[in-house]
Amino acid sequence: MSRLIINAVLLLIVHEIYSVATATDQETCESDRLMEEQCRIHNYKTVKPLLDYFRQVRNELEDKEIKENKLNELNSDLMEKYHEIVRIHEKFVKEAALLDEYKNKVIKGENDLQLCKNRVDKFESETNSQQNVIVKLKGELAEKSNNLENCEIQYKTLNSSLFEKDENIKRFSENIKNITEHRKTIELQLEQSKTKLIMKDKDNQLCRAEIDTLHKTLINTLIPSSCSHFGDYPGVHEIRVSGIGSVDVLCDSQLAGPGWIVIQQRVGGNESFNRDWATYRKGFGEMDSDFFLGLEKIHRITSLQRFELYIHLVALNGSTYNARYDDFKISDEDSGFKLSLGKFSGTIVEDAMRDGEDEKFTTFDRDNDEDLSTNCANYFNSGWWYHNCYNCNLNALYGPDLNWYQRNPLKEAKMLIRPKKAIHEKIMKEIILVFIRYKFLELISSMPQENFQLLYELG
């Protein structure tokens, strides 16, 4: 297009020049047409420099057009370079963003490393404290060893004293032979003392009967729920529970000694434990099969004194285990029947129940667990003290979910509670001892001086 414009301009310029030259020649040659050839030659000479100039201009224009084409090519290359620079810039921005992200991750990793270091420092501090405790215990052990040596010395001293007493008894026997003339009088006095002693024994028996009655009254008054009164007579017994009244409970004296109340039992799989809140509060099942005593009863029983929990476990292969907690209780309903356990011991290693301590009870219609995504009771079809969700679930369906620490499947499970040694029992024992001592001193004080002297000499 540019070339056509240039050619057109050149033609117009040539035409104008030719017209001017022709007009000039016509004015010059009007008088003589014979000089036409000379005029033509003259015109050629006149136009030739112009033609040369125009040819030069055309060549320059062609060179300019070539340069413009090269410039356009350079501009095109420049645009490609610009787009490439833009792409490189975008890539650089992305890589800078990735670099910032990696930098943030490195900073976070450094923070996590610092936290780990702090935990390691804390663990080292705890280890040092434990080592100090061990050193202290070693010192106490050495002290107890010294005490044991002292006891052994005292034991030898007592043996020596016993030998001396044996010698004294021999001497007393010889003295008895020397006082045979007083024997009849002493026997008569002893008969009188025996009569008084028999009367005192009768009084003592009456007193013991009264003490037993008082003991039973104290049990019914101070202990709202206990099987200890029934001793080695297991089975279903009626006890009094504060705030509820008379309640039938299953007493067990075979698994871990007398005095245990069975609060939960899984022995056959005949009972569904996927129950609502009200049913778990009241209790359900049969005591000769699977049952749950009831959250309200368990709370009332464990609220007045300290109870221990005994868990009897039977694995699928028939192996038996047990777990103990020394301070078991659950709170009232307003607090969600929250679980408390105390210290752990037993033949099984894992403390699986600890996961549910301080947790409220959860059923499918009352979600109290810590899992924000689901209701554990609804998911595992059973009520329990769930956390998120559990390490053991003794109310779960028979199968893999009925386990201890999620890797010990069970075919049987029992939960039993028993009061720790009651304070009133110690008091009653002290009362009885005081009574016996008082009666004995009263008997001694009523004896004649000769009999008292004889008893003293007999040791």
User: What are the tens digits of pLDDT across the range 407-424?
Assistant: 778 999 999 999 987 444
All residues at 6 or more sequence positions from 402 whose CB lies less than 8 Å from its CB, including other chains: 266, 393, 394, 396, 409, 410, 411, 413
Which token pair is 197? 């002693």
Work out the average pLDDT over 213-219: 54
**Structure tokens of 241?**
């529970």
CATH of domain 228-421: 3.90.215.10
Name the 3-class secondary structure at 231.
Answer: coil
283 Ramachandran zone, left/alpha/beta (phi>0; psi -120 to 50): left
The model's pLDDT over 65-88, given as tens digits with 9 standing for 90+, comes to 888 888 888 888 888 888 888 888
Q: What are the angstrom distances between the C-alpha of 4 and each of 9, 10, 11, 63, 389? A: 9, 10, 11, 15, 89
Token representation of residue 104: 């943030």
Q: Distance between terminal CA atoms of the chain?
A: 148
Whole-number pLDDT of residue 411: 93
- Is 350 or 458 the better-scoring residue by pLDDT? 350
Answer whether the bond into residue 389 is a cis peptide, omega within 30°: yes
Whether residue 354 contacts residue 339, with contact meaning beta carbons closer than 8 Å, is answered with no
Domain locations in the chain as residue ranges: 2-98, 185-222+426-457, 228-421
Which of 91-100, 122-131, 154-163, 347-356 is least confident?
154-163
Element (H, E) at 94: helix 36-178
Q: How many CB atoms lie within 10 A of CB 447?
A: 18
Find out whether 292 and 396 touch, Cβ atoms under 8 Å: no
pLDDT band at 269 (very low <50, low <70, confident <90, very high): confident
User: At how many degrees (to 10) do helices 183-222 and 449-457 cross?
Assistant: 80
Output the pLDDT for position 200.
73
What's the pLDDT score for residue 456? 44
Using CA atoms, how far residue 82 sits from 68, 72, 78, 87, 93, in Å, is 20, 15, 6, 9, 16
Please give the DSSP secondary-structure letter assigned to residue 362: B
- Tell whether the model's pLDDT for residue 273 goes beyond 90: yes
Secondary structure of residue 227 in the 3-state scheme: coil
- Nearest of 392, 300, 400 to residue 344 by alpha carbon: 392
| Predicted local confidence at residue 426, as pLDDT | 47
pLDDT digits (tens, 9 = 90+) for 274-329: 999 999 999 999 999 999 999 999 999 999 899 999 999 999 999 999 999 999 99
pLDDT over 90, % of the chain = 36
Of 216, 213, 251, give the one whose Cα is nearest residue 233.
Answer: 251
Cis peptide bond N-terminal to 207, omega within 30 = no
* 337-374 per-position pLDDT tens digit: 999 999 999 999 899 999 999 999 999 999 999 998 99
CA separation, residue 453 to residues 186, 351, 437, 458 (Å): 11, 63, 19, 9
Average model confidence (pLDDT) across the chain: 81
Range of lowest pLDDT (93-97, 168-172, 448-452): 448-452
φ/ψ of 411, rounded to 5, equals -110, -15
Give pLDDT, residue 231: 80
pLDDT digits (tens, 9 = 90+) for 225-259: 589 888 888 999 999 998 899 999 999 999 999 99
pTM for the complete prediction? 0.47
Residue 454 pLDDT > 50, yes or no? no
pLDDT at 265 over 80: yes
Report whether pLDDT(439) > 80: no
Residue 224's pLDDT band (boundaries 50, 70, 90)? very low
Determine the pLDDT at residue 455. Answer: 47
Query: How far apart, in whole angstroms, are the C-alpha atoms of residue 440 and residue 201?
Result: 10
Token pair, residue 214, equals: 């008082």
